[in-house]
Structure 1
Amino acid sequence: MTACAIEPPSTSGADGVPEAGCVITADGSYAARLAPAGDCWFPERWTLDGPEPYAVPLPGNQPEEPGTGVQPMGDGRVLIHRPSASRHLFSLLYPTGPGTGELPLGAVECPEPGTRLVLLPPAPGGARAYALASGPRSSAVWLVAGGAFGPERLAEVPGRCSGGVWLDGTGRLLALDRELGGRTKTVVVDLERAVVSPLLQIADDSDDRLLLADPDSGLLLISSDAPSPGQERLGWGVLGSTLPVRFPECLRLPDCVVTPFAIQPGQVLTPENCAVGLRVDGAFGTWVGVWRPAERRVRHLPAPEGWLAGTGVWTPEGVLRLPYATRSTPCGVSTLTAARGSAGAKEPNGKAGATEADGNAGATEPGRTAVPAPTRPAAPTRSRPPAPLETRTPAPPVPQAPVPSVTRVAGPVPARPVPLQQAPLGRLVTN
């Protein structure tokens, strides 16, 4: 994911993005990470869909390098990516009694200098895994697990690509941020047809990136410098909508890196209702933010101790599940859930915390377009970590606006994604 900040602090991730502590499958059933063991590292699989989370260590014959990539598969196995110079080795790990079984999948060669190969986010379904090889002049998408004959090159994209967001529930449409001609724009790769088409182009001279997408609602989280040249800002849009991209002022946090990491699923045709989990890195450390497009504020929540920062998953009911690991609890999941606009939200330690009511959702500023605010289900609401917040009285109910129509392509899998409407700078909404 791409981070947006005015003055981002130093990070250990690529391109200034904070590194995630682990990787979670698209359905939230499994997670995988490199776990420390003294001065060494070994893969570890977490099972998250049972009554209690538990970890299964998967040590190999020798410790892993810190740059080794891991990704959980839908069947509980763990894909491991071991880079070695220009050669990248892939295997599937699985527990075998007291030991670890390993199924070699093959290797990908990247002989061109300056080429970087990384695992893409887990694909829907969990049966396949993909990698992106980004070179100076072109990039390639590889199927590295789930194929019939080892790694398979699926598509080539002119330009240097980064990111990676799945737009559908079948693992066919992949959005990539392509740098070409000095500008970065998001394109979509149809992996079945090997066709590349534009998706996000807000302005001719802007850098536009797609950070997250929810296939159920069509909600897109976007990073762009279109409203503030030279400064990236977080915005949101809806796939197939005719409304322009919006850049809320509440998502501008000075001297902080704000990284969206999870969107609430299951909110079909109501993207304004989707809760978005934000990782916030600032002078006070790292904490969690929760925001909805229909609101004009971010709720700042203390992260659980040992949070594997930047990772988490929403349930359709509006519960944010955050994996964490401490000395006393090497495998744990903290849940953040609270009724909106009510006091008594549960902190990670089970204590009641203060909440804020949304007193201005649906309000309209002069000369600006209001964000529709349909009836919303309960969702997490908690306190700001740096300083306690006062509880405010909920505002009177605001008349609800109709939900905007969303254009969909007939059929189970669209042949071409519906692009966002181009939004000139004069139409950018920054409420």
Structure 2
Amino acid sequence: MTACAIETTAEDGDRDPVAARPAGFTITANGAYAARLAGEGDALYVERWTLDGPEPYAVPLPLDQPEEPGTRLLPLADGRVLVARRVDGRRNTFSLLYPTGPATGELRLGAVEAPGSERLVLLPPSPDGICAYAMCVGPDTTTLWLVAGGAFGPERVAEIRGRCTGGVWLDRTGRMLALDRRLDDGPVKAVAVDLERGGEVTPLLQITEGSDDRLLLADPDSGLLLIRSDAPGHDRLGWGVLGSLLPVRFPECLRLDDAAVTPFAVQPGQVLMPESCAVALRIDAAGGSWVGVWQPSSRRMAQLAAPQGWLAGAGVWTAEGVLRLPYATAEVPCGLAGLEMPPEPEPEPEPVVVEEPRVCRPVPLQQAPLTDRGPAR
């Protein structure tokens, strides 16, 4: 399975009060567990979901004191949940929560200081399911921390010049991480960071010299990359292939005039077949949020209604092409709905005029220091 969860806010769940939570719903990389803040008002607590059984179920992990709305969560593959809390405006403390019979166990890991204007951000769940990483973002430097899975509490992993955002894993081992970096007042460029070589940075995306090129999702099996760039003249969703010399393509069907479109999950298991990967997209408009599904080989994006109470922006593809969407309502507090990729309609005639995106250079993805991959496409 491949899983991705985008942080959601209370505004995302305005169709269902139960889904209106102060923090996001995060799924492990293997799709087995998830975590979110549950409860109402000031009585918030950590809730762990198990997703890989016959039926999903939730386990509450409350402590003596309720959690703050800004508490950040990251589930691990062994069922524990990493909890990051901000204390006194600058200290970030980390603990692991786990069920111990009727009670909740807590293993305190230590703290990381984020002084001044710096802020600490949890990175998406590592593919190895054991380690958890955070980055402390300053105006000129970004520091990567291993906050769970180390030997002696939080460990500084690397210091990277520039201000970084994003965070996408490029392999199945948790070694190669892609970040979107801005140097000084220059454009944003996605770079590959090798965590086993002290944070060695390699260029990953360079569509044009002055464009902002961000990496949103990556699938290590197929090499499919989902990209957002203003190289065509304004921000557009595009796709490319890791290691390919072909330029990024910006399908017109992924552009909606009255809604924002954000990819959140890619179908796994399509080895070296990026065009066949199904991609799930979150569509946000004035009327709410719903789901789009699309394949790079398709000329259209199918738009589907999300289940009531969908925890918007969260979902898991199976290798067989079923999109599993978590939802919570008053009647079903822990649910998982399945959507399948709809069949491709009959091809439409080619238009007389085709607008070509302005892409001046191919993406030098082949420069990323990734190993154990098949031949470049």
Fold-level match, TM-score > 0.5? yes
Distance 1:226 1:411 in 2: 29
- Aligned pairs for 1:247-258 (under 5 A) are 247-258=250-261
The amino acid of 1:222's aligned partner reads I
CA displacement at 1:412 relative to structure 2 = 4.0
CA displacement at 1:320 relative to structure 2 = 0.2
**SS at 2:275's partner residue?**
helix
1:275 paired with 2:278, answer yes
Distance 1:82 1:160 in 2: 22
1:110 paired with 2:114, answer yes
Q: Which has the larger radius of gyration?
A: 1
1:359 paired with 2:347, answer yes
CA displacement at 1:69 relative to structure 2 = 0.3
Structure with higher RCO (Cα < 8 A, 6+ apart): 2
Is residue 278–residue 294 contact of structure 2 (8 Å, CA) maintained in 1?
Answer: yes
CA displacement at 1:251 relative to structure 2 = 0.9
Please give the TM-score of this superposition, normalised by the length of structure 1: 0.76
Is residue 2–residue 163 contact of structure 1 (8 Å, CA) maintained in 2?
Answer: no
Distance 1:20 1:87 in 2: 19
Is residue 320–residue 336 contact of structure 1 (8 Å, CA) maintained in 2?
Answer: yes
Q: What is the aligned partner in structure 1 of residue 362 from structure 2? A: none
CA displacement at 1:123 relative to structure 2 = 0.6
Is residue 83–residue 89 contact of structure 1 (8 Å, CA) maintained in 2?
Answer: yes
Q: What is the aligned partner in structure 2 of residue 326 from structure 1? A: 329
Q: What is the aligned partner in structure 1 of residue 195 from structure 2? A: 191
The amino acid of 1:120's aligned partner reads L
Q: Residues 11 and 233 from structure 1, CA distance in 2 versus in 1: closer, same or farther, beyond 3 angstroms? A: farther
CA displacement at 1:193 relative to structure 2 = 0.2
Q: What is the aligned partner in structure 1 of residue 73 from structure 2? A: 70
Q: Residues 20 and 227 from structure 1, CA distance in 2 versus in 1: closer, same or farther, beyond 3 angstroms? A: farther
Q: 192, 199, 215: which one pairs with 2:220?
A: 215
Distance 2:153 2:71 in 1: 19
Is residue 20–residue 311 contact of structure 1 (8 Å, CA) maintained in 2?
Answer: no
Distance 2:290 2:44 in 1: 26
Distance 2:24 2:37 in 1: 8
CA displacement at 1:37 relative to structure 2 = 3.3
**SS at 2:253's partner residue?**
helix
CA displacement at 1:255 relative to structure 2 = 2.4
1:238 paired with 2:241, answer yes
Q: Residues 141 and 19 from structure 1, CA distance in 2 versus in 1: closer, same or farther, beyond 3 angstroms? A: farther
Is residue 19–residue 310 contact of structure 1 (8 Å, CA) maintained in 2?
Answer: no
Number of aligned residue pairs? 350
The amino acid of 1:157's aligned partner reads I
User: CA-atom RMSD, angstroms?
Assistant: 2.7
Is residue 164–residue 174 contact of structure 1 (8 Å, CA) maintained in 2?
Answer: yes
Q: What is the aligned partner in structure 1 of residue 44 from structure 2? A: 41
Q: Residues 153 and 137 from structure 1, CA distance in 2 versus in 1: closer, same or farther, beyond 3 angstroms? A: same
Note the residue ranges of structure 2 that are not aligned, 5 or more in a row: 13-20, 357-365
1:200 paired with 2:205, answer yes
The amino acid of 1:331's aligned partner reads C
Please give the TM-score of this superposition, normalised by the length of structure 2: 0.87
Q: 304, 311, 315: which one pairs with 1:308?
A: 311
Is residue 38–residue 46 contact of structure 2 (8 Å, CA) maintained in 1?
Answer: yes
Distance 1:21 1:335 in 2: 20
1:99 paired with 2:103, answer yes
1:154 paired with 2:142, answer no
The amino acid of 1:196's aligned partner reads V
Q: Residues 82 and 25 from structure 1, CA distance in 2 versus in 1: closer, same or farther, beyond 3 angstroms? A: same
Distance 1:76 1:2 in 2: 17
Identity value in percent: 63
Q: What is the aligned partner in structure 2 of residue 290 from structure 1? A: 293
Is residue 203–residue 367 contact of structure 2 (8 Å, CA) maintained in 1?
Answer: no
**SS at 2:30's partner residue?**
coil
Q: Residues 365 and 264 from structure 1, CA distance in 2 versus in 1: closer, same or farther, beyond 3 angstroms? A: farther
Q: What is the aligned partner in structure 1 of residue 16 from structure 2? A: none
CA displacement at 1:242 relative to structure 2 = 1.2
**SS at 2:130's partner residue?**
coil
1:177 paired with 2:180, answer yes
Note the residue ranges of structure 1 that are not aligned, 5 or more in a row: 4-9, 13-17, 342-356, 370-405, 421-431
CA displacement at 1:331 relative to structure 2 = 0.4
**SS at 2:196's partner residue?**
coil
Q: What is the aligned partner in structure 2 of residue 353 from structure 1? A: none
Q: 91, 94, 102: which one pairs with 1:90?
A: 94
CA displacement at 1:97 relative to structure 2 = 1.1
Q: Residues 339 and 206 from structure 1, CA distance in 2 versus in 1: closer, same or farther, beyond 3 angstroms? A: closer
Is residue 58–residue 93 contact of structure 1 (8 Å, CA) maintained in 2?
Answer: yes
Distance 2:269 2:26 in 1: 21
CA displacement at 1:259 relative to structure 2 = 1.0
| CA distances 1:89-140 after superposition (whole Å, capped 9, x unpaired) | 00000001111000001101122x2111011000102011100111011001
Distance 1:336 1:44 in 2: 24
More strand, by proportion: 2
